[in-house]
Amino acid sequence: MLTINISNFYLYTNFDIVQYMNCREGDMNHRIAKMIFLLCLTGCTVPRVSTTLALLMGAAFGLLLENPWPEKIAQLSRNLLQISVVGLGFGLGLGEVLRTGRSSFVFTVVGITLTLTLGFLLGKLFKIEHNTSALISVGTAICGGSAIAALAPALKAKDEETAVALATVFTLNSVALLLFPLIGHLLHLNQVTFGTWAGLAIHDTSSVVGAAAAYGSQALATGTTVKLTRAIWITPVVLAIAWFKGGDRTLRVPLFIIGFVVAAGIRTLLPDYGQVWAGLAAISRQSLVVTLFLVGAGLSKEVLRKVGARPLAQGIALWLLVSSMTLVALVQLGLA
């Protein structure tokens, strides 16, 4: 008995020591991840760091290390993006905003209608569950994650359906931010054409402004305005679907779009403070770099696991069709 008790003592003691060492190692790794995250975040405030580099740093961090504050970082990136977009309005005159929005209106309406139709057909082709297919289609057609989050209650979508759609769109957003500027330079697109293309063909606002900012200041102004014109359609599309589906019909108006227009109006009405407005716009452009690092840090192995083969196939096929058709239309109309 004594031998058995002593053996048990050593067994439990060794087990406790292993648990303790594992906890200590986990705590150390967590601290290191926090330090690296804060160092990268601080580095993104330096003007020399580009949007592309910030996204790559964030994605590398998210895939290689454990995200120390996943929920807080996701919320911070959303809030900072909206504040940054409002700040970008101080860099534009109200007349320029209205002209760009008006000129892209037809493209936006046709693009949304075509994308929703193609998304429905591809969903049938790949035999994807209806809600997941609809969420991916609306996310591609209008405004990525914002549109998906707004539509989910109207469809009474399950959490896993929303998660798959968000993960699919998020993955393609990251690719678009890196790929679009390369294609733009390869095809020698001017900045207005590139900004219009990015605003019409990239899912989320963060990736639109990131890709456009990497291409040039005029591309950034055009891309942001076109994208926000497109994002306005969240409200009517979601309300229409909610009406047919009997889901949540709460009116959702993206307030940061209103803030963007108000900021442009203030700049137009008070031109004597041009240096102040230029300073606010510059700060907003740099805060977008920080935002894209935060967005990249949200790309984890868990997110990639949520993306099924068929939803990803639908997302890629729909995105490639919309992107290529939009670009061909812009070039054929002589905007390039």
DSSP structural state of residue 220: H
Model confidence at 183: pLDDT above 90: yes
**Do residues 212 and 76 touch, judged by C-beta distance below 8 A?**
no
Q: What are the pLDDT digits (tens) for 90-103? A: 887 888 778 877 77
- Beta-carbon contacts of 217 under 8 Å, excluding residues fewer than 6 positions away, are 191
Helix (H) or strand (E) holding 247: none
Q: What are 232's two structure tokens?
A: 């306005």
Global model pTM greater than 0.95: no
- The four Cα atoms 335, 87, 180, 202 give a dihedral, to 10 degrees, of -90
The first and second tokens of residue 219, run together, are: 């591309």
240-277 confidence digits (pLDDT tens)? 777 776 655 565 666 777 888 888 889 888 888 888 98
Contact yes or no for 296/37 (Cβ under 8 A): no
Give the dihedral of Cα atoms 214, 215, 221, 222; nearest 10 deg.
Answer: -130
Residue 232, C-beta contacts closer than 8 angstroms, at least 6 positions apart: 254, 257
Predicted confidence at residue 219, as pLDDT, reads 92
User: Confidence class of residue 158 from pLDDT cuts 50, 70 and 90?
Assistant: confident
Residue 198: the pLDDT is 93
| Band of pLDDT at residue 74, cut at 50, 70 and 90 | confident
**How crowded is residue 283: how many other Cβ atoms within 10 Å of its Cβ?**
14
Asked whether residue 22 carries a pLDDT value surpassing 60, the answer given is: no
Burial group, residue 235, by CB count within 10 angstroms (0-12, 13-18, 19+):
middle
**pLDDT tens-digit map of 215-244:** 988 998 899 888 888 887 877 887 777 777
